[in-house]
């Protein structure tokens, strides 16, 4: 549940008996250091109280290097706003985390100047009233809510991990063979979905049977869309051919036969797991075409029987496998789930449904859904009529740039606990890419590397630290304002910024697709950015933007051009694909500090 009123903080104090290098206060789009007052004593005061809206913020604790052999060198300590509001006394909140005494001073009556959005509804600072579209949508529905039904051992955990890019969520929350359907399971690696788990129905298990039916009916009748059930996956293992295995356990068969009306108005999909075992069986039987034989078996022995005895036309069917090379089923499942959710929760207006958008955010399987989600969010407000007013009705270019950046990054929803993609450093980097006429050496410092690759004279720099094009002493807003004030045709810069950011994130998605449960690193961002920055594709996109004539009466041609360019996948580019194929998994785990020209 989101926090509607901002938490106003007057000071923060942290003390520890252990050796600490430094501590940072982390928000989704920014970070600030907490000043050291003495040995292992840190305190920061805010004369104008700092207001935090949303569900949480965190501290990044950097331990001394010699101490790090005992524990991680860097730890992320999450603080829930609701815990502070419910447990504070005498205008302060105190807690102990990772042997760190934390005190948060509260100033509820003070006027807030610096408002920072927290985890659920990220928005950059200094927007002066420009609220992100994703912030508004997440305010209505912060998480995709799904019920997964099925017996233990059939592959539910693997299915969830693959679909939502998390790592063994069940290990922390599930006891084998047990499940509480009312319990909300939220992974810290992806807080854009909430899972309800139901074990299978055993014969005579009337209690679990009634609990599940009651839960579904209750969620259907909830007033707010965020509390409703958005989708149901009914999971079954494919019965082995010629082994006499039952299609459904008796309890689930009774559950479905008594009526699928319970799933009316809820997107429900029957998911058959272990497809690889069925395919392997067909190969052992020496079928001429094992793939076709497996599909025919599924239709005859799985899909048709359930459709027949339920009499339901609302159920859809998918077969999945966790084995490498057989991931198409997972993609079909995510695509079908999104289609059904979009149809069920479609709004009467042209605006995207909050449930549809958060479904796109939650899934970490299909990059094309991320692209279309970015378009849906952008066309609702900030991508429209870019040429009509560079200041978006009394707002500056930089305010608009910040909110556009937040909306796009929020849709892609990487496992980014340190908020690198919202950082000033990454935004500076993206701003520096938007002038196609500027030589690369003036935009991004070059570092010699034995891993440099040259293709057709275009350097594709790999595994090098990012050198950011900014001036010492300037914050992001002041620096970007200075840059943009001397650039003509500002709408071209906005177009390039949007296209470049979406393309870099798509490359980053491809790089981390097999390990998206792991924390995002600056090394991975470096690789994704460099692969795109030094590509012919970026130069070609910028040339198209520069030559683009937006003056066509009666049409928003700028929006049309942006959409056409962001849909041109950089991963499909042969040069970029070749670069990505050369990157080792270990390279993605490097997490060097951001560096600027000023620090050289």
89-103, 160-174, 427-441, 542-556: range with lowest mean pLDDT = 427-441
**Class of residue 343 by CB neighbours under 10 A (exposed 0-12, middle 13-18, buried 19+):** exposed
Specify which of 22-36, 152-166, 239-253 reaches the highest per-range mean pLDDT: 152-166
DSSP string over 23-90: EEEEETTEEEEEPEEETTEEEEEEEEEEEEESSEEEEEEEE-GGGTTTS-SEEEEEEEHHHHHHH-BT
User: Residue range 410-426: average pLDDT?
Assistant: 89
Q: Check residue 141 and give its pLDDT.
A: 93
Query: Could you give all domains of the chain from N- to C-terminal order, each with its CATH number?
Result: 7-117 (2.60.40), 138-361 (3.40.50.300), 366-599 (no CATH)
Closest listed residue to residue 14, CA positions, set 43, 53, 35:
43
Closest listed residue to residue 416, CA positions, set 529, 517, 526:
517
Mean pLDDT of the chain: 77
Q: What pLDDT band is residue 503 in, cutting at 50, 70 and 90?
A: very high
Strand partners, 94: 103
- Tens-digit pLDDT profile for residues 192-248: 999 999 876 665 566 677 888 889 999 988 999 999 999 999 998 888 766 667 777
* 393: pLDDT strictly greater than 70: no
Q: What pLDDT band is residue 252 in, cutting at 50, 70 and 90?
A: confident
For residue 598 the two structure tokens come to 């000023």
313 or 188: whose pLDDT is higher? 188
Query: According to DSSP H, which parts of 189-248 are helical?
Result: 206-220
Asked if residues 364 and 334 have their Cβ atoms less than 8 Å apart, the reply is no
User: Residue range 368-387: average pLDDT?
Assistant: 87
Sign of the torsion angle spanned by Cα atoms 104, 416, 121, 428 = positive
Q: Check residue 147 and give its pLDDT.
A: 95
Closest listed residue to residue 419, CA positions, set 136, 107, 57, 1:
57
- Tens-digit pLDDT profile for residues 162-182: 999 987 644 334 444 456 888
Q: Residue 100, SS3? A: strand
Q: Which residue do the tokens 């978006």 mark?
A: 392
Q: Check residue 460 and give its pLDDT.
A: 36
* 144: pLDDT strictly greater than 70: yes
- Tens-digit pLDDT profile for residues 31-46: 777 888 888 888 888 8
- Tens-digit pLDDT profile for residues 345-364: 988 777 889 999 999 999 99
Asked if residues 62 and 11 have their Cβ atoms less than 8 Å apart, the reply is no
Q: Check residue 385 and give its pLDDT.
A: 62
Q: Check residue 106 and give its pLDDT.
A: 87
- Tens-digit pLDDT profile for residues 452-500: 222 333 333 333 444 444 444 444 445 444 544 444 467 788 889 999 9
* 508: pLDDT strictly greater than 50: yes
340 or 480: whose pLDDT is higher? 340
Which secondary structure element, helix H or strand E, spans residue 459, and what is its range? Answer: strand 458-460
110 or 72: whose pLDDT is higher? 72
Most distant CA pair in the chain: distance in Å? 77
């Amino acid at each position: 549940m989101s926090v509607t009123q901002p938490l106003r903080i007057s000071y923060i104090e942290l003390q520890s008996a252990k050796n600490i290098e430094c501590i940072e206060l982390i928000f989704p789009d920014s970070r600030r250091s907490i000043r050291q007052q003495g040995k292992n004593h840190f305190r920061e005061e805010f004369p104008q109280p700092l207001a935090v809206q949303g569900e949480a913020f965190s501290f990044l604790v950097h331990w001394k290097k010699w101490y790090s052999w005992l524990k991680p060198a860097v730890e992320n300590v999450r603080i829930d706003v609701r815990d502070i509001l419910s447990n504070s006394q005498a205008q302060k909140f105190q807690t102990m985390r990772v042997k760190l005494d934390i005190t948060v001073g509260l100033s509820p009556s003070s006027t807030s100047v610096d408002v920072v959005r927290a985890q659920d509804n990220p928005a950059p600072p200094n927007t002066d009233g420009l609220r992100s579209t994703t912030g508004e949508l997440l305010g209505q529905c912060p998480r995709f809510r799904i019920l997964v039904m099925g017996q233990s051992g059939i592959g539910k955990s693997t299915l969830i991990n693959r679909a939502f890019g998390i790592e063994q969520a069940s290990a922390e929350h599930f006891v084998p063979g047990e499940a509480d359907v009312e319990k909300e399971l939220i992974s810290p690696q992806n807080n854009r979905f909430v899972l309800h788990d139901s074990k299978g129905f055993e014969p005579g298990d009337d209690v679990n049977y009634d609990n599940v039916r009651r839960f579904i009916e209750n969620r259907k009748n909830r007033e707010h869309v965020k509390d409703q059930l958005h989708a149901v996956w009914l999971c079954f293992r494919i019965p082995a051919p010629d082994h006499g295995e039952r299609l459904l356990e008796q309890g689930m068969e009774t559950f479905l036969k008594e009526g699928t009306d319970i799933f009316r108005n809820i997107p429900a999909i029957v998911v058959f797991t272990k497809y690889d075992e069925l395919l392997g069986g067909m190969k052992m039987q020496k079928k001429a075409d094992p793939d076709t034989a497996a599909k025919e078996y599924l239709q005859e022995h799985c899909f048709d029987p359930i459709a027949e005895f339920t009499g339901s036309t609302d159920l859809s069917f998918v077969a999945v496998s966790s084995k490498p090379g057989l991931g198409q089923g997972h993609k079909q499942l995510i695509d079908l789930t999104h289609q059904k959710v979009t149809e069920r929760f479609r709004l009467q207006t042209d605006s995207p449904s909050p449930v549809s958008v958060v479904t796109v955010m939650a899934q970490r399987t299909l990059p094309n859904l991320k692209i279309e989600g970015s378009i849906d969010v952008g066309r609702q407000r900030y991508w429209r009529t870019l040429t009509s007013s560079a200041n978006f009705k009394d707002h500056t270019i930089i305010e608009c740039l910040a909110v556009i950046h937040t909306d796009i990054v929020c849709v892609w929803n990487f496992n980014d606990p340190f908020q690198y993609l919202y950082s000033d450093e990454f935004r500076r980097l993206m701003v520096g890419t938007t002038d196609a006429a500027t030589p690369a050496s003036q935009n991004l410092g070059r570092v010699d590397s034995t891993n440099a690759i040259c293709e057709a004279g275009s350097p594709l720099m790999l595994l090098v630290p990012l050198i950011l094009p900014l001036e010492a002493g300037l914050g992001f807003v002041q620096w970007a304002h200075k840059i943009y004030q001397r650039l003509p045709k500002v709408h071209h810069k906005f177009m390039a910024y949007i296209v470049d950011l979406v393309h870099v994130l798509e490359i980053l998605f491809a790089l981390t697709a097999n390990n998206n449960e792991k924390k995002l690193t600056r090394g991975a961002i470096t690789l994704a950015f460099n692969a795109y920055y030094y590509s012919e594709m970026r130069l070609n996109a910028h040339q198209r933007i520069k030559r683009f004539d937006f003056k066509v009466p009666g049409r928003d041609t700028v929006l049309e051009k942006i959409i056409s360019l962001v849909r041109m996948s950089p991963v499909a580019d042969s040069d970029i694909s070749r670069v990505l194929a050369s990157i080792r998994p270990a390279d993605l785990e490097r997490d060097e500090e951001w560096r600027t020209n000023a620090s050289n």
